[in-house]
Structure 1
Amino acid sequence: MITGRLSLLIKVQKEREESLQAQFIKAQQAFLQAEAKYQGLANYRTEYIQQSLEQGSSGLGGRQFNQYVNFISKLDQALTQQGRVVQQSRNVAEQRRQSWLKMQTKRKALEKLVEQALLKAQISADKQQQKLADEYALQRFYQQLQLAEQESNF
């Protein structure tokens, strides 16, 4: 029956949906980790600059100043790279979320189709049952009518 095949298809869709959901969760976690790493780098950069300013107020040599500037430059590069990682992981998470939601929509549409097919089958069965009940009642009526006629003929 068609509902049996659709039920099997729904089962497969659910499995795919669960797989896509797991992929989304994993991608979302990767995004959150990348974002936390970015925030950690940004906080470290801010603290490092703060320390540099504090030490600079008591006087710095040219070499030490260049080391601070170079290190801050490397932190900026690391922040830029990590910013790209954050954006990429955000994009991947969003793509995975969209795939998961699409599969969820397909599954729900199939479930609705099965529900409609079952309802249609139930309505058809109810009509058939009512038709049989009507035919039985009509036959009983005719039998009783014939019995009444036979009794009146005696």
Structure 2
Amino acid sequence: MAMKQLDTILKFEQDKEQRCADQLKLAEHEYQQNISRLQGVADYRLEYMKRLSQRAQQGLDSATYSHYHAFIAKLDGASAQVEIAMRQAKALAEQSKSIWLKQRQKVKAVELLREKRLKLIAVAEEKTEQKMFDEIATQQYLRRPNR
């Protein structure tokens, strides 16, 4: 395989690796956002529960209690949805990481193949150069006047 072909393949695989890395970053960012959302909903629920507790100490009618209870149930539902989204985002991030690692292995393999090819070319050039120097030395020896 010619060096130009290896360079082309290497460039293609590196570009593909970069796209995989970008996809991984995006998936990890989405996962982190869902963790933050889940924490935000949990914090808000806790704050709302504290308000309910304070209001209950002052006295609370049943309609207001029902309102608080219904809203807390909605927060629990939102928390469950965010948790599902978080698990899906985590799975996507793990899948993206696996794809990126496989692509990274391909890039490393092509780089190794390219390095081996460069070494073979260097050895061949050295042999050619040595052959040329040997030929020059032989010609100089043959052209020397006899002493």
TM-based fold match above 0.5? yes
Q: Which amino acid aligns with 1:148?
A: N
For 1:68-116, what per-residue CA distance to the aligned partner results, in whole angstroms no more than 9, with x for missing partners?
2222122112111111101111111221122122212211220121111
Range 118-127 or range 21-30, more displaced: 21-30
Mark the structure with the bigger radius of gyration: 1
Number of residue pairs matched by the alignment: 147
Q: Which amino acid aligns with 2:113?
A: L
Q: Please report how far the alpha carbon of residue 66 of structure 1 lies from its aligned counterpart in structure 2 after TM superposition.
A: 2.6
For 1:125-148, what per-residue CA distance to the aligned partner results, in whole angstroms no more than 9, with x for missing partners?
10121122112212322322xx21
Where in structure 1 do 4 or more consecutive aligned residues deviate above 6 Å?
Answer: none
Q: Which amino acid aligns with 1:76?
A: D
User: Structure 1 residue 112 and structure 2 residue 124: aligned?
Assistant: no
* Alignment correspondent of 1:133: 133
For 1:45-82, what per-residue CA distance to the aligned partner results, in whole angstroms no more than 9, with x for missing partners?
00000110111111222332232222212211211111
* Alignment correspondent of 1:152: none
Q: Which amino acid aligns with 2:146?
A: A
Q: Which amino acid aligns with 1:121?
A: I
Separation in structure 2 between the aligned mates of residue 141 and residue 78 of structure 1, nearest angstrom = 93
Cα root mean square deviation, aligned:
1.6
Q: Please report how far the alpha carbon of residue 16 of structure 1 lies from its aligned counterpart in structure 2 after TM superposition.
A: 1.1
User: Structure 1 residue 29 and structure 2 residue 23: aligned?
Assistant: no
* Alignment correspondent of 1:88: 88
* Alignment correspondent of 2:101: 101
Range 89-98 or range 48-57, more displaced: 89-98
**Aligned partner of residue 53 in structure 1, secondary structure:** helix
* Alignment correspondent of 2:124: 124
What are structure 2's unaligned runs of at least 5 residues?
none
Range 135-144 or range 80-89, more displaced: 135-144
State the percentage of identical aligned residues: 31
TM-score normalized by the length of structure 1: 0.87
**Aligned partner of residue 148 in structure 1, secondary structure:** coil
